[in-house]
Chains A and B, each alone.
Chain A
Amino acid sequence: MKPRLAALLLLALPFAVNADWRFEPPVALTPPPATGVFQHLDGAGRRHIAVAGDTVAVTWEDNRDGSPQVYARIRVTGTDDFTPTRQLSTGDEAYEPAIAALDDGRFLVAWEQDAAVYLRLLDADAMSPPLQLATGAGHATVAGGGNIAYTAWRERSDGRWFLRVARLAIEQGLSLRLESSVTVEADGLEAPLQFPALAAAGDALAIAWEDRRAGHTRLLTSFSANSGASFGQPVHLNEFFSNRNEYDKGSGVTRVALAGFAGDELLAAWMDKRRGGVGYGIYAALGAHGDGFGPNERVHGAEGDREPHYNPAVAGNEEGDFVVAWDDFRRGDSDLWLSRYDEDDSWGEDITPPIASGPGEQSHPSVALDERGDLHLLWIERADPNAPSRLFYGHGRRASD
C-alpha cells in the first residue's frame, strides 16, 4: 500500500506537497454572536462541510430559536453567496448532523432528532421530506458520491448496542429511498459503540468507530466490498500501548474521522493519548479499501508535541491530496491547525490558517478538498470558551494557482 501511496503523492506533487493555501476573507454563516446562542460542529466523523464541483454545503446545530436544531446552507456554483439558512430538523431537539456530496449539486444530511436518526436530501433550491431511519439511535454519519450514499449510526435495542449501516437509493431530483440496512456485527454489545465514521468508494465501504468491548475504548474498523450488504470482521485501528501495570489496558483514543481519496485510498485520524500526561495527540493511518490500514502515524508536529490537540477532521480528493485539521491552544487561545504529507511521505509542519487563528477561540474544524486542491474550511469562533459563538466558512485557494 505504501509504495502505491507514494506514487500517487509524487504525481500530485505540484499541489499536494508543501503547498499552502491563499485564504479568502472568511464568510460568517450565522448572525453575530448573541447571548445564549451557540453553534456546534460535533457530528460523528466531523463531516459538516462537503463540496461537489464548485458547490459547497455546510450543516451544523444551533439553538437560535430556543432549542437545538439542525441547519444547512449551500454556496451555489458561480456565486459568492450562500443560500439562506434552512432548518432541516423538525422535532423538539436535534443534534450532530453530517453531510455528504452527491451529484447534480445535491447533498445528503443525516442527524439525530428526538433520539431517532433522520435524513434529508437537499440542493440549493429545495429539500426532500425528512426520512426517519431508526429510533433509539444517534451518532449518525454519511458517505457517498454520485448517486450512491450510505448512512451509519448506532442504536440500542434490548439493552445492546449496534452499529447499523444503510444503503440509500438516490433517485431523480430529491427522491431518497432506503434500499437496505445491516448491522456491522450481528450480535450487539453490552458495551457502548459510538461516533462511527464512514468512507465509500463505489461498492467499497469502510467504517471506523469507538468501541468499549475490551473494557476501555479502542478504535475498530470494518470493510464491506458489496455495497454494505455485509461487513468483515472488525480489526483494530489504533496500535496498542500497554503493560505499564496490571491496570493498563492501553492509551485513550477517541473521535475517529475517515475520508477517502484517490479512488480507493483511505485516511483515518483520531485523538490518541499515547504520549502520556500531555493529553491527546492527533494520530492517523493511511489505508485502502481491500487492504486495511497501515501503521499509526503522528500527525501534529514537534512544536505542538507537548500540547493537547482536539477535534480532528479529515478530507481527501480524487487527485490524491489529503489533509488533517484539528484545534489546540498551544498559543493560549484555541486556533485551527492543518497538516498534510510532505515530500518525504511524512506529515509536514503544522499550518495555522490565518483566517482561523489569532485572538479568541477558533475551534471544531470540518474540512473538504475540491478537485483543484482548494481547501474548504468550517469552524466555530467565540471570544472566550463560554461566550456566544458564530460559524465561519473559509476558502483556501491552492497556492500554486
Chain B
Amino acid sequence: MIRPVTTLLVCLALAAGIARAAPPEAYAFLPLGEAWQSAQQQQKPMLLYFGRYGCTTCRKMHAEVFTDPDLRRRYSEDFVLAYVDTESGNRIRLANGERTTEMQFATRNRILGTPTFVFFSPEQKPLFKKAGFQSITQMNHYHGFIKGGHYREQTLADYSASQ
C-alpha cells in the first residue's frame, strides 16, 4: 500500500466531468480535483472511491451498503466524497502539473480491483486503502476511526483491536 497511497498525494485539481460512471445514488460524489479542493478548503476528511462502470461488487455495495440511511448521513456530512472511474478517459490534473486521465491515474496507483476506497485525513494525508466489498459495519468503523481522530494516535488495526 505504501507506494500507491504515496502516489495519491500527487492528485490535485480538476476533471473535465463528462460521461462519469455511476457512483452510488443520493451521495454527492465529486470529480477528484473538485473534491480535493473542497476537502482542503473545509479541512474535512476525503473518501476516494475508485469504481468501474457496472462493476459487480460496486453494484452490490450500492444496493446493500450505501443505501443505509445512517451511513449515508455520516459520510455525506463528515466527508468530502470523490469518485474516479477506473476506465474513464476523463482528464484530471495532478499536483506535478501533469494532465492525465482517470484511468491512467488509477493505473499509476495500482488499483487492481473495484471498488477500492482510499481514506484521507482532514489534513489530506492518505491513511489507508480498502479493496473489495465493505459492509455497513466496516464502513461505519472506518468513519469512526477518522471522525473520532483516532488515526492521529493509532493504526486502523490497533483501533479495530481495541473496539
Binding site for B on A (CB under 8 A): 36, 38, 40, 42, 63, 68, 95-96, 138-139, 156, 161, 192, 194-195, 210, 212, 214-217, 244-245, 247-250, 252, 254-255, 273, 277-279, 308, 310, 329, 385-386
Given A244-B56, A247-B63, also A36-B96 (CB < 8 A) = yes
Residue pair B56, A279 in contact (C-beta under 8 Å): no
Contact (Cβ within 8 A) A217 B7: no
- The reply to whether A308 and B112 contact each other, CB–CB distance below 8 Å, is yes
Task: Report B-chain residues with C-beta under 8 Å of the C-beta of A161.
Answer: 19
Q: A252-B87, A279-B112 are in contact. Are A217 and B53 (CB under 8 A)?
A: yes
Could you tell me if A247 and B59 are in contact, using CB atoms closer than 8 angstroms?
Answer: yes
Within the complex, the shortest CB–CB distance from A158 to chain B, in Å, comes to 15
Q: Nearest chain A CB to B156's CB is how many angstroms away?
A: 21
Cβ-closest chain B residue relative to A249: B54
B38 CB to closest chain A CB, in angstroms? 23
Listed in ascending order, the chain B residues whose CB lies under 8 Å from chain A are 7, 10, 18-19, 21, 52-57, 59-60, 63, 87, 89, 91, 94, 96-101, 103-104, 107-108, 110, 112-114, 132
Q: Which residue of B lies closest to A361 (CB)?
A: B108
Cross-interface CB contact of B56 among A138, A245, A386, cutoff 8 Å: A245
**In the assembled complex, which residues on chain B have CB atoms less than 8 Å from the CB atom of A156?**
18
Q: Known A-B contacts: A38-B97, A40-B99, A247-B57. Give 7 more (CB < 8 A).
A: A192-B19, A215-B54, A252-B52, A255-B87, A277-B112, A385-B7, A386-B94
Least Cβ–Cβ distance between A393 and chain B, in angstroms: 21
**A40, B97: Cα distance in complex, Å:** 13
Total A-B pairs, Cβ < 8 A = 81
| Smallest Cβ-Cβ distance to A156: which chain B residue | B18
Give the docked Cα–Cα distance between A247 and B59 (Å). Answer: 6
Q: A247-B60, A252-B55, A386-B7 are in contact. Are A38 and B98 (CB under 8 A)?
A: yes
- List residues of chain B with CB within 8 A of the CB of A139: 89
| Nearest-Cβ distance from residue B153 to partner chain A, whole angstroms | 30
A217 near B87 with CB under 8 A, answer yes
Contact, CB under 8 Å: A210 / B112: no
Tell me which residues across on chain A come within 8 A of B103, comparing CB atoms: 254-255
* B60:A210 contact, CB within 8 angstroms: no
Q: What chain A residues lie within 8 Å of B113 (beta carbons)?
A: 273, 277, 279
A40 near B100: Cβ-Cβ < 8 Å: yes
Q: In the complex the two chains form, what is the Cα distance from A308 to B131 in whole Å?
A: 15
A216's partner among B7, B54, B94, B99 (CB-CB below 8 A) is B54
Closest residue of chain B to A212, judged by CB? Answer: B53
Determine how close the nearest CB of chain A comes to the CB of B10; give it in whole angstroms: 5
Partner of A217, one of B54, B59, B89: B54
B99 engages A68 (CB within 8 Å): yes
Q: Which residues of B contact A252 (CB under 8 A)?
A: 52, 54-55, 87, 114
Once bound together, how far apart are the Cα atoms of A217 and B55, in whole Å? 9
- 11 of the cross-chain contacts (CB-CB < 8 Å) are A38-B98, A95-B91, A194-B89, A217-B54, A247-B59, A249-B56, A252-B54, A254-B103, A279-B112, A386-B94, A386-B108
Contact status of A277 and B132, CB under 8 A, knowing A194-B19, A215-B54, A216-B54: yes
**Contact across chains for A385 and B89 when beta carbons are under 8 A apart:** no
Contact of B101 among A42, A210, A216, A217 (CB under 8 A): A42
**A255–B88 alpha-carbon span in the complex (Å):** 10
